[in-house]
Structure 1
Amino acid sequence: MKKLLLTLCAFALIISCSTSRQIEKAVNTGNYDVAMSNAINKLRTNKNTKRKAQFTIMLQEAYHKANQRDLENIKFLKTTNNPEDLIKIYDLYVNVDNRQERVKPLLPLYVDGREVSFSMKNYANDIANAIDKASSHMYNNAVALLNSNSNNKLDYRLAYDQLNEIESINPNYKDVRQLTEVAYQKGVDFVLVEMTNDTQKVIPTQLETDLLNFSTYGLNNLWAVYHNNADNKVTYDYKMQVNLREINISPEQVQERQIIKEKEIKDGKKLLLDDQGNKVKDSLGNAIEVDNLKTIRCEYYEFKQFKAAQVTGNVEYYDLNTKQLADAFPVSSEFVFEHIYANANGDRRALENSLLAFLDRRAVPFPTEEQMIYDSGENLKAQIKTIVNSYVMR
């Protein structure tokens, strides 16, 4: 028991030393908030014991240096008088205030019986002023962008981002929520989707519906809205043309093969005879019996039904403002129907297990041409989804 306690103490000491080195390294490299997090974790229990003193000292150092750095940055940014820095000033004040709130639950902290000092200040007014100034500046910027006559969607998207930033720091400021919707509607690209069939084959109605049903694609592009039915109230920026160029369907094929299998199996017992045909006996005079082996044979006939379909085409994006082709991507999909069945003559015990499963099968009807085309479309849909999710129009 004593040995176990010594081992546990040694292990705890190693862990403690490792953590202190990590905190020290974080402080020395300027990662003050990381150092604070590690020190706070160590001080959650038994915070004022002698072995925790090093973590208290490190926490004080990281806290002081982090706040000093942020407050000096705030002072510098205020002197530059650059409105673009107002949100940075707000973020820095929030950082300082958050550090205070993280340390407060641990206070008071002691080292050698003396309370360790952590400077505290109420930054509520500073944060409120920073919020007000940053909100006012970003609001004026966003309104100016929305009222510009440039019709530049990237400007409207910038306005949208600034309005969202205001909402995150100053909820329900002025008419920000209404303007955010205006900015989105101005900044979004509307895309009309159409399909062209140049394959000289009939495309299943369900396949066309599935390919153009963008609500099932799980799109993650904020700035693109796809319509497969034109809305007269919408001015479209792009047209996405899904062109099916060629569909190849192979003939229905049945491939055959014959395999003859032979195998030796046990078939009861027989007397062991010598070269003269006499019974061989053991030391007690009893006749010796051995396995009677016989060769079995099976003729295996396998049939493989095969049919394949391939659909090729491309996806084209047209800029409806310039009437020019903006981009094109090839798409290709293949579906293979394959069914194996078999029958056998002879002793089936001669066959491997991998062949036996096919003996329970029978021929099945080949899928229709329409079904083959539809099944090919599943992979086609996945390719179109990849294109839509990755394509950046502007």
Structure 2
Amino acid sequence: MKKQIAFTCMLLAVIFWAQGCSNPKKLMYSGNYDEAIEKSVQKLRKDKNNEKYIAVLEEAYIKATQRDNERIVFLKKEGKPDNWRAVYDTYVHLAARQEKVKPLLPLTLKSGNRTANIAIVNYTDDIIDAKQKATEYLYTLAVKKIDSGSKQKAREAYRDLQEVKRLYPNFKDTEQQMQRARILGTSFVLIDTKNSSGIPIPPDFERQLVNLNPRDLNSDWVEYHLSAANNIPYDYDIIVNLQGVEISPEAYHEKQFEREREIVDGWVYAKDSKGNYILDSLGNKIKTDKFVRVSCRVTQIDLYKEARLGGSVDFFNRKTKQRLLSVPVNANAVYAYAYATINGDRKALDDEKDKDLLRLANNPPAGFPPDFELIMQTTAGLQEAIAGAIRTNRSAVDD
């Protein structure tokens, strides 16, 4: 019972709170003028003559407009050039508010025998003036940031110029300045390989190691290249340093299995102990299975060979020549093959008990792959490890 009462009280509290939040008059008195205007407009669209909501709309509109105009006056008097964006946004807000109310006008308060005091002002010139000044300020600020030569400032400038484009798509040479900011703000990274293993490695293998997709590695302000491009000021080098190549001995293991069993090999006429044919009730000779003993020798051959490659992904600052980071990477490729040969009668093998040997007997005999072939098979695993090291440590090359 107590739980039910508590739940009922809580439910009523939520209902009253929700009603308060949606009550235009209470919203107005709490200073939420635009919400009060929105709620009142919704009500008046259904009933334009509802004086209760007309009165709330009028008061909230006057107060909201007064507050915005006071903010504009303050921002202008403060004299900061970066205030013009806020001035512009406030004028746009004033215009949007009156556009929301305009379709309902005029609104008449019959009880007071008057029309609601909702003034409509043409803000076009004010919006254009503030927009131009805000755009000019952002553009000038962005150019100064680019001219500073700082990567971080160039990135800030790019964002400022994006805002310029939103305000005025064709303002001055914004596109060219954005290209300048993009190039200066981007950390360009050149990826290359180095063989420190002391073992000659075919060029194809080294190329395969860094055959990565730069687009999968790039971020907003970091761009990776697999070969040097003209007129690109590279900031960092990533060297894939191959330090060790190990080829295991060729492991050859041979096992032999002997199999022997009786199998059915046709039929014969059954005879009794005296050598006479056994007849059925009709006088016909009775047939019986003919069994023979068969045998074979199975030789199972297991081949194993492994290539192991190890190295590191080294990050260098090109200007200072300093190594920033070294991430170990490794990969391996395994050759494991088995086959079997059968000498004798294959029927000596049981289909169920000897199914593994029968399966191996279907594999053709083979030898070991060359070292180079096995080394090449490690490239996929090493590529994945290299790409992972670059992605994980992107912050090392992101100024």
The aligned counterpart of 1:190 is: 188
The Cα shift of 1:154 comes to 1.4
The aligned counterpart of 2:3 is: none
The aligned counterpart of 1:146 is: 146
Amino acid at match of 1:366: F
The aligned counterpart of 2:313 is: 315
Which of the numbers 327, 338, 341 marks the counterpart of 2:339? 341
Between the aligned partners of 2:134 and 2:319, the Cα distance in structure 1 is 36
Between the aligned partners of 2:294 and 2:68, the Cα distance in structure 1 is 91
Amino acid at match of 1:132: Q
Amino acid at match of 2:203: T
The Cα shift of 1:340 comes to 2.8
Amino acid at match of 1:185: I
Q: Percent of counterpart pairs with the same letter?
A: 28
Between the aligned partners of 2:237 and 2:97, the Cα distance in structure 1 is 52
Amino acid at match of 1:359: A
Cα distance, 1:156–1:216 mapped onto 2, change above 3 Å? closer
The aligned counterpart of 1:135 is: 135
Between the aligned partners of 1:233 and 1:253, the Cα distance in structure 2 is 53
Aligned runs of 1:8-87 on 2, under 5 Å? 76=71, 79=74, 84=82
The Cα shift of 1:312 comes to 0.8
Cα distance, 1:350–1:227 mapped onto 2, change above 3 Å? closer
The aligned counterpart of 2:379 is: 377
Say if 1:257 and 1:303, in contact at 8 Å, map to a contact too: yes
SS state at 1:311 partner:
strand
The Cα shift of 1:132 comes to 3.3
The aligned counterpart of 2:220 is: 222
Higher gyration radius (CA): 2
Deviates more, 1:253-262 or 1:316-325: 253-262
SS state at 1:367 partner:
coil
Between the aligned partners of 2:119 and 2:339, the Cα distance in structure 1 is 81
The Cα shift of 1:79 comes to 3.5
Write the deviation string for residues 338-391 of structure 1: whole angstroms up to 9, x where unpaired: 223234552341336566543321233432211222221212212222233341
Between the aligned partners of 2:332 and 2:188, the Cα distance in structure 1 is 31
Write the deviation string for residues 301-322 of structure 1: whole angstroms up to 9, x where unpaired: 5433221111111111221222
Say if 1:74 and 1:89, in contact at 8 Å, map to a contact too: no
The aligned counterpart of 1:180 is: 178
Between the aligned partners of 2:353 and 2:97, the Cα distance in structure 1 is 75
Say if 1:298 and 1:348, in contact at 8 Å, map to a contact too: no
1:306 aligns with 2:304: yes
The aligned counterpart of 1:255 is: 253
Between the aligned partners of 1:238 and 1:325, the Cα distance in structure 2 is 10
The Cα shift of 1:224 comes to 3.1
Aligned runs of 1:77-156 on 2, under 5 Å? 79=74, 84=82, 125=124, 131-148=131-148, 151-156=149-154
SS state at 1:186 partner:
helix
The aligned counterpart of 2:290 is: none
Residues paired across the two proteins, number: 304
Between the aligned partners of 2:122 and 2:338, the Cα distance in structure 1 is 77
Tell me the TM-score normalised to structure 2 length. 0.59
The aligned counterpart of 1:361 is: 363
The Cα shift of 1:179 comes to 0.6
The aligned counterpart of 1:328 is: 326
Between the aligned partners of 2:171 and 2:240, the Cα distance in structure 1 is 44
Write the deviation string for residues 137-187 of structure 1: whole angstroms up to 9, x where unpaired: 221110111222xx3211112112221232234322211101111112222
Say if 1:201 and 1:247, in contact at 8 Å, map to a contact too: yes
Aligned runs of 1:288-307 on 2, under 5 Å? 301-307=299-305
Say if 1:217 and 1:385, in contact at 8 Å, map to a contact too: no
Cα distance, 1:204–1:87 mapped onto 2, change above 3 Å? farther
Amino acid at match of 1:180: M
The aligned counterpart of 2:53 is: none
Between the aligned partners of 1:120 and 1:384, the Cα distance in structure 2 is 67
Between the aligned partners of 1:99 and 1:260, the Cα distance in structure 2 is 96
Tell me the TM-score normalised to structure 1 length. 0.59
Which of the numbers 203, 206, 210 marks the counterpart of 2:204? 206
Cα distance, 1:71–1:219 mapped onto 2, change above 3 Å? farther
Between the aligned partners of 1:99 and 1:76, the Cα distance in structure 2 is 16
The Cα shift of 1:246 comes to 0.5
Between the aligned partners of 2:93 and 2:260, the Cα distance in structure 1 is 81
The Cα shift of 1:226 comes to 3.6
Between the aligned partners of 1:382 and 1:361, the Cα distance in structure 2 is 32
Between the aligned partners of 1:254 and 1:70, the Cα distance in structure 2 is 91
Amino acid at match of 1:153: K
Between the aligned partners of 1:248 and 1:383, the Cα distance in structure 2 is 18
Between the aligned partners of 2:257 and 2:94, the Cα distance in structure 1 is 81
Amino acid at match of 1:156: A
SS state at 1:361 partner:
coil
Between the aligned partners of 2:182 and 2:374, the Cα distance in structure 1 is 42
The aligned counterpart of 2:388 is: 386
